Amino acid sequence: MTIYRDDAIDPGRAIDWSRTSADYARHRPGPPDSFFARLRALGVGLPGQRILDLGTGTGLIARHLAKQGAQVAGIDIATGQLAEARRSAEEEGLAIDFREAPAEDPPFPERSFDAVTANQCWLYFNKARLLPRLRRLLAPGGLIAVSHFSWLPRRDPIAAATEAIVLKHNPAWTGKDWDGEVPLPPAWMTPDLEIRSFFAYDEAIPFTAEGWRGRIRACRGVGASLEPDAVAAVDRELAQWLATHAGERFTVLHRPDATILGFRVD
């Protein structure tokens, strides 16, 4: 399965991340090193720790955690993304168990993991199905780290202008105009969960014009859902705007965040 559909997310649009895989692997950065340092300080990403990365995509999170010495598996529904994840892991000499599977049906036995990570993908999952499965998958004391790495259009002019260009070609895109708020507790949190830790902070992420254009082509609202001529139109207009207003090198303000949860002891 590669196509994702949900009337609450970009109504009327089918989302196919496999179509974005080349740009995703080349241009879409994972969270910065500071993000992983914070996770590690809070008990996620330790050497020898068994970690399952949900919605792993091209394996950005999984590969970074594996480099820290964790034993990592990653699952995703997008065949093209997983192909890039496996290729990158092989090039980097990393042994990661990538499998094609939905988050709600991970193909692993009970108590296989010490932690589960999910970066920039939790909104796509059926939490009523997923959470009971994670409770069985996690060893006692296991952690769930739900995280994001999002630009701030209300504070960054490049992000704001980019969103305006995307919306011109894809008005259905619901990823626009994030206000930067990270609700605590999250709306999906169930009574058997408790928040163990949380962080959110801002960091200016460096890009070249080419890199930012590739990052946007890899966006859900562009390469994963628009036809090729519309993707080219977005890219062309963004290139023109960047040449006039941003130059060849710039930063875009992002807000990494993570909510780390665990199941209550019965």
**How confident is the model at residue 202, as a pLDDT?**
98
The predicted-structure confidence for 48-102, as pLDDT tens digits, reads as follows 999 999 999 999 999 999 999 999 999 999 999 999 999 999 999 999 999 999 9
User: At 4, is the pLDDT very low, low, confident or very high (cuts 50, 70, 90)?
Assistant: confident
pLDDT digits (tens, 9 = 90+) for 22-42: 999 999 889 999 999 999 999
pLDDT digits (tens, 9 = 90+) for 99-145: 999 999 999 999 999 999 999 999 999 999 999 999 999 999 999 99
167: DSSP letter: H
Alpha-carbon distances, residue 205 vs 27, 149, 156, 208, 251 (angstroms): 13, 11, 11, 10, 5
Token pair belonging to 196: 């163990």
Q: How far apart are CA 15 and CA 225, in angstroms?
A: 5
Residue 238 three-state SS: helix
Across-strand partners of 207?
250
Report the percentage of the chain scoring pLDDT > 90. 92
Whole-prediction pTM: 0.95
Cα 61 to chain centroid distance, Å, stands at 8
Q: What are the beta bridge partners of residue 49?
A: none
Say if CB 174 and CB 245 are below 8 A apart.
Answer: no
- 2 pLDDT band, cuts 50/70/90, is low
Q: Residue 200 and residue 132: Cα distance in Å, rounded?
A: 27
Query: Taking 60 as the threshold, does the pLDDT of residue 1 lie above it?
Result: no
**pLDDT tens track for 156-214:** 999 999 999 999 999 999 999 999 999 999 999 999 999 999 999 999 999 999 999 99
> Quick one: pLDDT at residue 265?
85
Q: To which H or E segment does residue 169 belong?
A: helix 157-169
Q: Residues 59, 74: contact at Cβ < 8 Å?
A: yes
Spatial neighbors of 20 by CB under 8 A, at least 6 apart, are 80, 81, 217, 218, 219, 222, 223, 224
Contact residues for 27 (Cβ-Cβ < 8 A; gap 6+): 210, 211, 213, 214, 215, 217, 218
Q: Are strands 15-16 and 3-4 parallel, antiparallel or unpaired?
A: antiparallel
